[in-house]
Structure formats: C-alpha cells, structure tokens
Structure 1
Amino acid sequence: MPEVLACIDGSTTAPAVCDYAVWASQRLQTSLTLLHVLDKTQYPQRSDLSGIIGLGTREHLLEELASVDQQHSKRALEQSQQMLEAAQQRAIQAGIESPLTRQRHGSLVESLVALEESIRLLVIGRHSTTNDNIAEHVGSQLEPVIRTLQCPALVTCGDFLAPQNYLFAYDGSFTARKALQRVADSPLLQGLHCHLLMVGSDRAACQALLEEAAEVIRPSASEVSIAWREADVEPSIRTYQLQQKIDLLVMGAYGHSRIRQFLLGSTTSQLIASSLCPLLILR
C-alpha cells in the first residue's frame, strides 16, 4: 500500500518533517514510514584499507585503521537509530499507531528511487548547513530528488503549522488542469481554502481560465479565491503568500508557460529556498 515517507536527518528541520508527515498520513489515511539515509560520503561503510597502505607497513597499523573505520560506522548507525526512534515516538504521540522506520546506506536519490513504488507522498525538509547557504543546499539535495522522482513531494520549511489554506500556481495548460484535478480528488487538501494564482500578460484570458479552474476545485475546497498577476513569477508568488498568509504552496510540472519555465528552469532552487511556507510539488 502506498505510504507517506518522511526523510529524517539530524538537522533542526526533523521535527517539522515528522509533524508534516504525521499530518499527511492522517489526512490521507495511509501508513507512515520514517527513513534515514546513511550517506556514504558522510558515513563511509567499512572498507578494505590494504591497498592504501604500503607493503612495508606494519600489520598493527592496518588493524588500527580498520578499527577506526568500524567504530565510525558503528557510531553512525547508532546515531541514525536514535534519530529514527525519536521521530517514531513523536509520531506515536501525535496519533500514528504504528509508524515504521527504515535505514539505508547510499545516496538520498538512489535510496528514494529504490523505494519510489511504495511512496504516495514524500516529505522532506529544506534546510541549510553551516557552510552552505540555503540555495546551495537545496540545489545539491532537493532539486535532484524533485527532478528524479515522479511521486508528489512535500518540502517543509520552518515549524509545523497545520495548513488551513493553500496557493495553487496555475497556468491553464492540460497538465495544470490534470494536477488541479488530482488535488481536488485527493483527501490531503480537502476542506481547505484554495487560492488560485495565474501569472500572464492577457488578463481576460487568465481570468477565464481561472474561473474554469475554480469550478474544478470548488467541490473539494471550503472557499476558492482567484488572482491574476502580470509581474515575474517568484515575486508574484512571494508577495501573494505574504498578503494572503498562505500556509502551503502547490506547484506542478506544467506545460510551456512562465510558471513551468520558472519551476523547471535554473531558478527552481531559488523558489524552494525563498518560499515562505512548505511546498507541495506534483509530478
């Protein structure tokens, strides 16, 4: 059965990732799995060191290096298990009866690809490291995941806040209408206030498309608001988020439009990094 999969790490975003995953699991009425990936670049597995050391090196040095390697891997496994156990207890306290935990070695993308068939919704946190700014971190971690996986992804930021409304960035294309229908059919966002925003140069055409979209989403929403903007996509979305106090931004892989060019272009990570609320990205 497809599940909600939450990527847990040792960052400050882990509690929010867990909480949003719990919220999604309860809304979708599906199981929750908490995943921690032991990245081989950070937690190398035990390796054969004999080729690194010269033939004349004493045997005890080889044994010492192997022991250090083994201890490092053991500590990484223990830390990973502690992270997962803490997240599991948090999910149980929030009402999830039997959340599962999983550990995997390898890269994040490779691990998620291997599990993709069982994922209904991926929940992953946006965060920076001490050495990288947010855009760099997002570019190296989230963007490959979003581009590679075909399942929906909920990218969290900040503390958990149960969404009461959401903003759907719309462009009127066939794939946009299909994505909107998916939102309408899913229990994830049912009963929330839906804001439909379109960015384009022809106000009348955009208004007509927005009215059509409103009819699609209205049966599943508590309220529907439509808006048109002519400015660039990122500032338009950001300003609207601030003005309307948006809790969740919903975007999809659309047709050939300014929104698609923005979403899939070189500034993808900028939108994820600058968003004032979590993003639900549909593929």
Structure 2
Amino acid sequence: MARILACTDGSIYAPSIYGHAAWAASRLNAAVEVLHMLDRHPGAAREAELSGAIGFDASQDLLRKMVELDEAQGRLAQQRSRAILEDAEWVLRAAGIAEVTLTLRHGALVEALPEFEKAADLVVVGKRGEAADFAKGHLGSNLERVLRTSICPVLVASRAFKPISRAVIAYDGRAASRKAVEYLARRPLLHGVSVHLLTVGNAGTDEEGLAEARFRLGEAGLDVHMQILPGRPEDVIARVVAESGADLLVMGAYGHGVLTRMFLGSVTSTLLRECRVPALVFR
C-alpha cells in the first residue's frame, strides 16, 4: 500500500498539510503517517550557561527551580504534541482516510527523515513553520533542508488547501523533471486534472524531449497541453501559474554537485516564495 508522510509542527500551515496529505492519499489509495518532531530539551544548556555566574547557595536554589520549570515545560510540550497529532488524525479521518498512523519523535526533522521516508511514496510539508519570518517571505528552514535531502517527491503545502483541478509541470529536460513525468505517469495523482506542460526557452528548445514527456503523460490518461515560452524561468513559470489559475506547480530541483546540494536553487527558491499554490518538487 502506498504511504504518505505528513510532517507537522502544529503551525498555521498544519490544516493545509493535512488537507494536501488527504488529497494525495485519496488519489493514491494510500495510508498516511503523521510525524511530529519534539525539540530536544534545552534545560542542560541553560544549566551550563549559569555555572559560575552567581554564588553557590543562590546558584543551587536557582538551578533546582530551573529543573522544576524545565520538567513542567517538558510535560506541557508532550501534551501539546499529543494534541497536534490527535488533531491531525481527526482531520484525516474526517476526510475519509482509513489508515492513519501517528508518530512522535524527539530531535530534528531532517535527522529523522531518512528513516521515515524509506517507506513513503510522498512527503508533505508546509511552506513555512512556526519560526519562519512571514513578513520577509522566508521559507521555513525545515523545508529547505527537506528539499535538499529527501529522496521522495515533496509536496509543499500552501497556506490553505483547496481542491486541485489544474496543474503546471515545469519541464526542463533534466533528470529531476523527467523523474516527475515518470512518477505522474505511473500513479493516478493527477488523473482528471488539466495539465499544462511548460518549457521555458527559445523555439526549438528540447522540443523532442517535451513531446516525449507529453506523450508519456497522455499515454497514462492525463489531459495535457504543451507550451514553450521564452524568458527567465522563474518569471515565466510564475506568470503561467497565476494566469492559468493553476492549483499546483510541479517542478524538479537540484543537481548532484556539492554546491547544488548545499544551497536551495535560486529558481526553485523564488518559485516557492512567489507562487501561492502548492508545489510538488522532485530532485
């Protein structure tokens, strides 16, 4: 059975993450595992910082109170985490997903992801998390790390979920975009969705590869419109997404060199920030 891994931190993107996970699971006939990571307990670091700062007696009394406070905060964090997972389960089951697994782990998402995505067909994360700077439009730090390291396609949830009826596939002929085409041709994720297959470049730019991609998707039963447009990729793709009323952007990202693994690609980063629709990203 296919499996969707939905990663949540309980931020305002959480309902959208569950909505997108439910949408994908219903189309792929998949189970959903909801993963919530609880930050490691910071008490020890604070205790070390206090050492030598004040007198012995006062230090011991303060340390005791800090330990009690840390324990209380730890219990509260556990309760919050359970509430987040229970809310996710309620939303997913209400959406008709029969098999839902809840997992709570301590640590960082990027450290746990390799273990959990081994059994996943798709990872769902929010565009931003609790710590993101919304005013500056920054992407969540977890998102950037997940996109750099995940071996699975990553569905990046937008601020709010809405049914997906139109999709733009940004196709550049590279391995990641070919992987996207093959993934979508082999699975019913976009069946019934109007697909705009877009390449940015001059006339004659990999027309053969684009035609092959269109044929592969059409052979799988998708309704595909093909187009080549000139211009800067990030500008053209963002414009087509907006003007076509697309509900989803599909794109490849990242190469295999050292630098491309270290940094989020500029085109990918720009599109994730500027486009207000969810993005299905392949690497």
**Residue 195 (structure 2) aligns with:** 194
Deviates more, 1:2-11 or 1:154-163: 2-11
Structure 2 residue 135 is the aligned partner of structure 1 residue 147: no
CA distance in structure 1 between the aligned counterparts of 2:86 and 2:23, rounded to whole angstroms: 19
CA distance 1:174–1:109, shift in 2 (3 Å): closer
- 1:83 corresponds to which residue? 84
Distance 2:279 2:152 in 1: 14
Residue 216 to residue 222, structure 1, CA distance change in 2 (3 Å): closer
Q: 1:127 to 1:48 in 2, by over 3 A?
A: closer
* TM alignment of 1:1-283, pairs within 5 A: 3-40=3-40, 44=41, 47=44, 51=48, 52-54=50-52, 56-57=56-57, 59-127=60-128, 132-133=133-134, 137-138=138-139, 140-173=141-174, 176-201=177-202, 203-253=203-253, 265-283=265-283
Cα 1:85/1:282, change in 2 over 3 Å:
same
Write the distance in 1 (CA, Å) between the matches of 2:193 and 2:215: 15
Q: Is the CA contact 1:128–1:137 (under 8 Å) kept in the aligned structure 2? A: no
* Offset at residue 10 of structure 1 (A): 2.4
Q: Whole-Å Cα distance in 1 between the matches of residues 254 and 214 of structure 2?
A: 18
8 Å CA contact 1:206–1:228 kept in 2: the answer is no
**Length, aligned pairs only:** 274
Distance 2:32 2:78 in 1: 21
Structure 2 gap segments, 5+ residues each: none
Distance 2:8 2:149 in 1: 19
Distance in 2 between the 1:135 and 1:120 partners? 32
Q: Distance in 2 between matches of 1:210 and 1:24?
A: 26
Q: How far apart are 1:48 and its partner, in Å? A: 8.0
Answer with 230-239 or 8-17: which moved more.
8-17
Q: Which amino acid aligns with 2:15?
A: P
CA deviation string 1:13-66 (max 9, x = no partner): 1111001101111111121111111123xxx25538765444823544332111
Q: TM-score, normalised by structure 1?
A: 0.86
Q: In the alignment, residue 230 of structure 2 is paired with which amino acid? A: E
Going from structure 1 to structure 2, the CA distance change for 1:70 and 1:226 (only over 3 Å counts) comes to same
For 1:277, what is the secondary structure of its paired residue?
Answer: coil
Distance 2:122 2:181 in 1: 16
**Cα pair 2:154 2:282 within 8 Å, conserved:** yes
Alignment RMSD (CA, Å): 2.7
Contact 1:198/1:229, CA 8 A, preserved across alignment: yes
**How far has the Cα of 1:105 moved from its partner?**
1.1
So what's the TM-score if we normalise by structure 2?
0.86
Provide the C-alpha distance between the structure 2 equivalents of 1:49 and 1:254, rounded to a whole number of angstroms: 38
State the AA in 1 paired with 2:101: L
Could you tell me whether the CA contact under 8 Å between 2:132 and 2:139 is conserved in 1? Answer: no
Secondary structure of 2:56's counterpart equals: coil
Residues of 2 paired with 1:208 and 1:142: CA distance? 34
Deviates more, 1:128-137 or 1:22-31: 128-137
Bigger drift between 127-136 and 72-81 goes to 127-136
Assess, with a 3 A threshold, how the Cα gap between structure 1 residues 191 and 115 changes in structure 2: closer, same or farther: same
Q: What letter is aligned with 2:168?
A: L
In 1, Cα distance between the equivalents of 2:47 and 2:180?
54
The Cα shift of 1:212 comes to 2.4
Instruction: After superposing the two structures, state which structure 1 stretch, 56-65 or 165-174, moved more.
Output: 56-65
User: Is the contact between residue 31 and residue 98 of structure 2 (CA under 8 Å) also seen in structure 1?
Assistant: no
Residues of 1 paired with 2:152 and 2:94: CA distance? 27
- Identical counterparts, % of pairs: 35
Give the letter aligned to residue 212 of structure 2.
Answer: E
